[in-house]
Structures are given as C-alpha cells and as structure tokens.
Structure 1
Amino acid sequence: MNVLHIHSDYPDGRNSSSTPAVKLLLDATSGIRHTIFVIHRTPWPWQVKVIQNDSQLYSIYYWGLPFGLGLTLSLFLARHLLLKLIQNEHIDYQLVHGHKLAIDGTLGAALAKWAKVPYFLSVRGGTDVRILRHKLLLRRRWKKVLEEAEHIFWVSAWAQNPIKQLLNISVNNDTDKSSLLPNLCEMKQLSHLHVPKKAANFVTVFRFDQYERKGIMPLLEAIAKLIADYPSIKLDIYGCGPENKMKIVQGKISELSLGKHVTIKGRIDNKVLQKKLTEYSAFLLPSQNESFGMVFVEALFSGLPILYHANTGIDGYLEGIDAGVKVDNQNTDELVNKVESLILQHDLFNARINRALETNLLDIFEKTTVVSHYQYLIEALKLEKLNDE
C-alpha cells in the first residue's frame, strides 16, 4: 500500500524549523510505502514550483499570502498544483494522510476524493485551532473534512474540545473513528529512579528564539519571588538560539539578581539529555500554543514531574497520572504557587512519577506503542480493501 502524505512541517532540508516527528513515525513503519508532499507557502508567484528530492519526497511551493489572506484561493491553487504533480508523475496511492487539519487535511481530503480513496487526518492544536478561530467562512468545509475522514488522530489531545466547539461536531475518541497519536519519542522510560534529589533543583529546555511563548520571563520572576522562602532554589536552562535572544534572557536574569540561582547551560545533545535530566527534581515550562511538546515526554521518561500550561502541549494526555502541575496562564503569582507546590510536595510527586513509570502508565508515549497503533490502522484498512475486492 502506498500512503500519500501532505505535510507542511516535514524535514525536507528546506525549512530549518521543521520537526522530525512525522518522519520518525513513517521511518519506523514496515511494509508500507510512503510518498510525501512537503508543502511550503510562498507569497511570490514566480517561486511556485515542485522539487523532487527523491522518488518518494517532493517539496512543493504553492502561492499563499501571510496571515491566511486569500486562503480559499490559495487552497484552490495548491490543490491544482498537487493534482498536476500526481498526474505528471503517475503517482498511485491507496490512502492519504493530511498531517494538519486546516491546510494539509483540506488538501489531503481533496486528493483522496479525486482518487476515490479514504484519508486519515491528524489534528495539531497550535496551528489548527488558531486558524479555525479566525476563518469563520471556512468552518463548514473543515467540518466536512473532519467528519468524512476515515480516522482522526488527535496529536494534540487538548484540541478536541475547542475544535469540536468551533465546528459544532461530535466525534467520539474511540478506536473506530478517532484516537490519540502522540509524537514519537526516541527516549526510553527509565526505571529504578528512587534517587534522593533536592526538592528545589529545577530544569527547563527550550529554543531561545521562542522564549516569549515559552513563558520564561514570568517563570524567572516567579523564581525571584521564591528565593526568600527557598534560598537554595535553582533553575538550569538548556537550549540554543540566536545570540541576541539569549542575551535578552540573560539580561532578565541579571535584572532580577538571579545569577546564583539561574544558569544558562546552553545547547545540550539529545543523546545525553535524558541522563542530565535525571539530576533534577522537576521540569518547568509554562509554554503556550504548543501542538504537543516532546520535551515534556522526555522529562517524564526521565522521572521528572512537570509544570506545564493548560489547553496546550501535552495537556489531555496525563489524566489519571497526576505527574505534574498545570497552570492556566503565565501569571507570575500562579507560577509561584505551582512551583512552590512542587517543592512542598516533592516526595509525593516523585512517588507519582515513579509509579507511572513502574506501572506502564506512560506506555502511550512509547515508540513501539505509537508505531503499532498507526500501522495497525493502515493494515486494517488494507485488509478491508482486499476483502471488498
């Protein structure tokens, strides 16, 4: 079976900010052929083009204005460009997978309809929810795309409620119509983590070009307020990014006189990240507008309770696990209260995360679990098609 993928964030070497999540998933499957259309928007008509990277990977530049202006026309032209490519290259496919609802999924549904094949749909909350909120006139189309999908993967578990409300639909999270599909984590869950740790020894990891969205400034202000009661409090910051952005964060650290408490450690190789994380008591990142947030899973797998933001990122996956604390916004006072709860209840949270690891409550994030689920649904569809024939 050949699966045609439409994705705007696939690492094709032409977008430095792309993420490897989908590539890791596809590479881990077996017995399935994948053809990937990586779509890039360009506002310049003369840059519209198709680049064939190899027999299975195409980079497609389609016309589209920033901020979703003229989106209906942009989608029409992109659909025409993709269909022309399919016809010219004689690309045959039996299933389509659109990896975001608003753009990728809309185009994927159109290509599936043209070829008379089913399609899968992934929903990623950050981009999808934002676009749906601003484009009222396209909601009817997106509702149809969602309802007619063979299967819906909620990569962002938290996005289910806002998207169902925005589109006025009811899609139950069951194995027939929809399911959760977390991004693939290459790390393994650690065991035997009953190692005594200082209760106020925190860590965070992020790209400095995104420091504002990650909530680092209010987090630093919260640390500054906690020093009076917890003079041994520490926060180590790992990550890289533009030097000017790193200087802004360092400037805030200096302004708040946090030099003895907060340290920018810089870039860390992902191969040694997990070992380093085990040295800390908890992971703090009140980030907004995250579709998933793989670093939270990596922290959990390393035995760390987490501080995370509601209605974004990993929110929705941790029901019944209680492996961290959730903030409703990036308000400094709320951050103070939640960070303090991690200090005061250090032993409790440590016991919870160890229990989650020991009783396999975090298996949903394991690579084998994610790949098996995805491959099973494709194989089941393949078998169904053979039976129909």
Structure 2
Amino acid sequence: MNILHIHSDYPDGRNNASTPAVKSLLDATSGISNTVFVIHRTPWPWQVRVIPHNEKLYTIYYWGLPFGLALSLSLFLTRNLLFNLIKKQQIKCQLIHGHKLAIDGTLGAAIANLIGIPYFLSVRGGSDVRILQHKALLHPRWKKVLEEAEHIFWVSSWAQNPIKKMLNASINQSTNKSSLLPNPCEMSQLSASRGISRAANFVTVFRFDQYDRKGIMPLLESIAKLSVNYPDIRLDIYGSGPDKKMKIVQDKISALSLEKQVTIKGRIDNTLLQQKLKTYSAFLLPSKNESFGMVFVEALFSGLPILYHANTGIDGYLDGIDVGIKVQSQAVDELADKVEELIVRHDFFHHRIKCALETNALDMFEKKTVVSHYQGLVDGLKLECPNVK
C-alpha cells in the first residue's frame, strides 16, 4: 500500500523549524510505502515550484497570501498543482493523509475525492484552531472535511471540543472514527527511583526565537517573586536561537537581579537531554499555542512533574494522572502560585510520577504504542488502487 502524505512541517531540508514527529512515525511503519508532499507557502507567484528530492519526497512551494487572504483561491490552485504532480509522476496511492486540518487536510480531502480514495486527517490544535477562528466563511468546508474523513487523529487532545464546537461537527466517538495520536517519543521511560536533593531546582527547554509565546518573561517574574521566600530557587534554561533573542531573555534576567537564580545553559544535544532533565525537580513551560509539545513528554519520561498551559500542547492527555500542574494563563501571580505548589507538594508529585511509570500510564506516548496504533488502522483498510486520469 502507498499512502500519500501532505504536510507543511515535514523535514525536507527547506525549513529549519520543522519537527521530526511525522517522519519518525512513517519510518517506523512496516509494509507501507509513503510518498510525502511537503508544502510551503510563498506569496510570490513566480516562486511556485516543485522540487523532487526522490520518487518518495517532494517539496512544493504553493501560492498563498499572508494572514489567510484569498485562502479559498489558494487552496483551489494548490489542489490543482498537487493533482497535476500526481498525474505527471504517475503516483499510485490508495490512501491520503493530511497532517493538519486547515490546509494539509483540506487539500488531502479534495485530492482524495478527485481520485476516489479515502483519506486520514490529523488535527493539530495550534495552527488549526487559530486559522479556523479567523475564517468563519470556510467553516462549512472544514466541517465536511472533518466529517468525511476515514479516520481523524487528534494530535492535540485539547482541540477536540473547540474545533467541533466551531464547526458544529458531529463525530461519534463510539464508531472508532477518531482517536488520539500523540507525537511518538524517541526517549525511553527512566526508572521511577531517583533522588532529588532540592524541591526548587527547575528546568525549562525552548527555542529562543519563540520566547514570547513560551511565556518565559512572566515565568522569570514569577521566579523573582518566589525568590523572596525561596532564596535557593533555581531555573536552568536550555535552548538555542538568535543571539538577539537570547540577549532579550538575558537582559530580563539581569533586570530582575536573577543572575544567581537563573542560568541560560544554551543548546543541548537531544541525546544528552534526558540525562540532564533527570537531575531537576520539575519542568516549567507555560507555553501557549502548542499543537503538542514533545518536550513535556520527554520531561515526564525523565521523571519530572511538569507545569503546562491549559487548552494547548499536551493538555487533555494527562487527565486523572496528576503528574503536573496546569495554568489557565501566563499571569505572573498564577505562575508564582503554581510553581510554589510544585515546591510545597514536591513529594506528592514525584510519587505520582513514580506511579505513572510503574503502572504504564505514560505508555501512550511510547513510539512503539503510537506506531502500532497507526499501523493497525492502516492495515485494517481494504483498499484498491484506482487509475488517476
């Protein structure tokens, strides 16, 4: 079986910010051939082009204006561009998987309908919710895309209710039409037994070019507030990014006189990340507009409780497990209260992490679990290869 994937965030060497989650999933499947169309928007018509890397990977620059202007026209032209590429390259596929609802999935659905084959749909809350909120006129179209999918993968668990509500979509969970599909974690879960010397020894990891969205400035202010009563509080920051962005964060640290409490550690290789994480007491990242947030899973697998933001990222996956604290905003007072709770209830949260690891409550994030779920749904389809004319 050959599956055609349409994804705007697949590592093709053209976008340094792309994530390896989908590639990791596809590489781990067996008995499935995957052809990937990596789509990038350009506002300049003369830059529209197709770059074939090999017969299984194509980079496509499609025309589209900023802020979703003329989005319907852009989708129409791009659908034709992709369909003509399929015909020209004589790509035979029995299933299409669009990896985001608003753009990738809408194109996937349109092409699947032209060919006469089913399609899978992934929904990632960050960009999908944002686009849907600003394009009410396209809601009927997205509702149709959602409801007619062979299967819906909710990568962002929290996005289910707001998207269904916005689109007034009816999806019966009992029909096995949809399921959660977290990004597969490459790390292994560490042993639950670990010693932590201090309860206020915190860590965070992010790309500095996204410091504002990650809530780092109010987090630093909350650390400054807490340092009055907890003078031994520490926060180490790992990550890379433009020097000017790192300087903005460092200047904030200096302005708050936090040089002894907060240290920018810089970039860390992902192979060393877990060994570093396990030496801390908790992971803090009140980030907004996250589709998933793999670093939260990596922290949990390292035995750390987490502080995370509601209605974004990993929210919805941890209900009832009590392995972290959820904030409703990036307000300094709320962040300070929740970070203090991690200090005061340090033993409780580490006991909950221990229980989660011992009872396999976090296995849903394991790569083998995610791949097995995806593989099973694909293998369960009885598909024929149509002729593309």
Is the structural similarity TM-score above 0.5? Answer: yes
Determine helix, strand or coil for the equivalent of 2:97. Answer: strand
Q: 1:162 and 2:162 equivalent?
A: yes
Aligned length: 385
In structure 2, the partner of 1:180 is 180
Residue identity matched to 2:257:
S
Q: 1:271 and 2:271 equivalent?
A: yes
Distance 1:333 1:239 in 2: 25
Cα 1:272–1:129 change in 2 (3 A) is same
Distance 1:171 1:226 in 2: 45
In structure 1, the partner of 2:373 is 373
Cα distance, 1:204 vs structure 2: 0.2
Distance 2:87 2:196 in 1: 62
Distance 2:197 2:66 in 1: 48
Determine helix, strand or coil for the equivalent of 2:74. Answer: helix
Structural RMSD (CA):
1.1
Distance 1:366 1:14 in 2: 28
Cα 1:260–1:232 change in 2 (3 A) is same
In structure 1, the partner of 2:311 is 311
Determine helix, strand or coil for the equivalent of 1:97. Answer: strand
Distance 1:79 1:59 in 2: 15
Distance 1:83 1:74 in 2: 14
Determine helix, strand or coil for the equivalent of 2:380. Answer: helix
Residue identity matched to 1:288:
K
* Contact 2:196–2:279 (8 Å) recurs in 1: no
* Contact 1:155–1:181 (8 Å) recurs in 2: yes
Cα distance, 1:385 vs structure 2: 5.9
When normalised by structure 2's length, the TM-score is: 0.98
Q: 1:189 and 2:189 equivalent?
A: yes
Cα distance, 1:255 vs structure 2: 0.4
1:1-389 to 2 correspondence within 5 Å? 1-174=1-174, 176-382=176-382
Q: Deviations over 1:300-323 (max 9, x none)?
A: 000000000000000000011110
Determine helix, strand or coil for the equivalent of 1:179. Answer: strand
Cα distance, 1:17 vs structure 2: 1.1
Higher relative contact order (CA 8 A, sep 6+): 2
% identity of equivalent residues: 74
Cα 1:175–1:314 change in 2 (3 A) is farther
Cα distance, 1:16 vs structure 2: 1.2
Distance 1:27 1:173 in 2: 29
Distance 1:127 1:174 in 2: 27
Cα 1:175–1:41 change in 2 (3 A) is same
Cα distance, 1:192 vs structure 2: 3.5
Determine helix, strand or coil for the equivalent of 1:191. Answer: coil
* Contact 1:194–1:354 (8 Å) recurs in 2: no
Distance 2:384 2:39 in 1: 29
Residues 169-178 or 63-72, more deviating: 169-178
Determine helix, strand or coil for the equivalent of 1:169. Answer: coil
Q: Deviations over 1:196-226 (max 9, x none)?
A: 3310000000000000000000000000000
Distance 2:196 2:289 in 1: 34
Cα distance, 1:60 vs structure 2: 0.8
* Contact 1:237–1:266 (8 Å) recurs in 2: yes
Residue identity matched to 2:10:
Y
Residue identity matched to 1:241:
G
Residue identity matched to 1:287:
S
Determine helix, strand or coil for the equivalent of 1:381. Answer: coil
Distance 1:66 1:193 in 2: 50
Residue identity matched to 1:222:
S
* Contact 2:192–2:353 (8 Å) recurs in 1: no
Determine helix, strand or coil for the equivalent of 2:326. Answer: strand
Distance 1:196 1:89 in 2: 57
